[in-house]
Amino acid sequence: MSTATALPRVAILDDYQKVAFTFADWSVLKGKVSIDVFTDTISDEDALVKRLEPYNIICAMRERTKFRASLLDRLPNLKFIATTGRKNAGIDVAHAKSKGIPVSGTDGGGNSTLEHIWALILSAARHIATEHAGVRGSRQLWQTTIPIGLQGKTLGLVGVGGLGKKTAQIAQVFGMKVIGWSPNLTPGRAEAAGVGFAKTKAELFQTSDIVSIHMVLSESTHHLITAEDLAHLKPTAIFINTSRGPLVDEDALVEVLSKKKIAAAGLDVFDLEPLPLDHPLRDVDNVTLSPHMGYVSDDNYKVFWSQTVENILAFLEGAPKRVIEA
C-alpha cells in the first residue's frame, strides 16, 4: 500500500463557494491526511453512504448534510466529525459518541446573523429586490413601490435570547416598539431584555408590524408557527425567518404570500435546502429570498475553517478539542 493511500481520508462537505482552502492554512495537515472537497449537497442516504463510506474524517458545514443515527451506522470507517459552529442539530452527537466518534465544533466570528436579519428586514420593508430588478431590467417606470417606514412600528420577536436582544436594540435605534413571545418567555425576562411582553403568540402576531423568528428547531418547536398564526398577521405585515425553515408551516406561508394576505417576507431558511428549483417560493413576488447565508461572512469563515484545521490536527494527535457533548 502506498503512503498516499495509507493516509487518513478527509471529506470536506458542502463547500458551495469553494472557499475552505481560502480561509485557512491547511498546510499543517500536509502529509498527514488526504483531502477531497465536495461542493454539492446530497440528501439521499444511500447516495451519501456511497460517497462517504471511504472517509475517516468528515468536515461538515453547519447542517447542510444531516448525520442521523442511520447514516452514522453505515459509515464503518468514520472516526471523527469536525463541524462548524458550537453545535449542530443536524448531527446525532449522542449516537456518534456511542460509536466512539467525537464531534468537534468551532467558535464564530462577528455579527453575521444579526446583520443578515436587518438586511432582510430593510430589503423587505423598502422593496430593494423589486426595485433593483426594475432598474437593472430597464423598467420604464422609475419607481413602483412605496417603502414601509419603521419608526413607530412594532417589531415582534418570537424568541428573545441573545440574538433576539441584539435585534431589539437595533429596532429601538430606528424608533420601533419591540415586543416578544416564546413558550418560555416570562414578563421578568422580557423586561430584562428591554422588550414588551406578549402574553400569547396570537397577541404578538396580531399587534406586530414585523415578526422575526429567533428560535431553536426541536421536536417541540417544529411548525411552531402555524397557518392560524400567520392568519393573525396584518395585511401590511412583514414576516422574517433567519432561524430554521421547519419552525414555520411553509405551505401556509406560501399561501399567505401568494394571496397577498401579508405585505412581504424575508426568508433565509427553508424546509429543504438548497431550495428546489421548482419550489413555489421562487415564483412569489413579495418575498425576498437568500440562500441560508445568515451565518456566512468572511469573519465567520476565517474562524470556522481555521479552527476546523486545528480540530483535525488535535484529533490526529489523539487529543480532540472543542468536543461537542450530547
The residues facing 157 across adjacent strands are 180, 212
Span 63-76, mean pLDDT? 97
Q: State whether 119 and 259 are in the same domain.
A: yes
Span 24-42, mean pLDDT? 97
Span 43-57, mean pLDDT? 97
Rg of the chain over all Cα atoms, to the nearest angstrom: 22
Q: Determine the pLDDT at residue 5.
A: 55
Short-list 60, 63, 61, CA closest to 78: 60
pLDDT of 77 > 70? The answer is yes
Q: State whether 187 and 97 are in the same domain.
A: no
Q: pTM for this one?
A: 0.92
Q: State whether 124 and 66 are in the same domain.
A: no
Contact criterion met (CB below 8 Å) for 124 and 264: yes
Domain encompassing residue 51: 9-109+297-317
First vs last C-alpha separation in the chain: 37
**Residue 281 maps to a domain:** yes
Contact criterion met (CB below 8 Å) for 269 and 292: yes
Known catalytic residues? 244, 273, 292
Span 198-209, mean pLDDT? 98
pLDDT in tens, 293-321: 999 999 999 999 999 999 999 999 999 99
Give the β-pairing of 238-241 and 264-267: parallel
Q: State whether 264 and 117 are in the same domain.
A: yes
Q: Structurally, how many domains does the chain consist of?
A: 2
Span 130-147, mean pLDDT? 95
Q: State whether 69 and 94 are in the same domain.
A: yes
Q: Determine the pLDDT at residue 2.
A: 40
pLDDT of 42 > 60? The answer is yes
Report the share of the chain in percent with pLDDT over 90. Answer: 97
**Residue 19 maps to a domain:** yes
CATH of the domain at 24: 3.40.50.720
If pLDDT is split at 50, 70 and 90, which confidence band does 3 have? very low
Q: State whether 45 and 186 are in the same domain.
A: no
CA distance 305 to 22: 9
**Residue 97 maps to a domain:** yes
Q: Give the chain's mean pLDDT.
A: 96
pLDDT of 1 > 60? The answer is no
**Residue 324 maps to a domain:** no
Span 272-298, mean pLDDT? 96
Span 257-263, mean pLDDT? 98
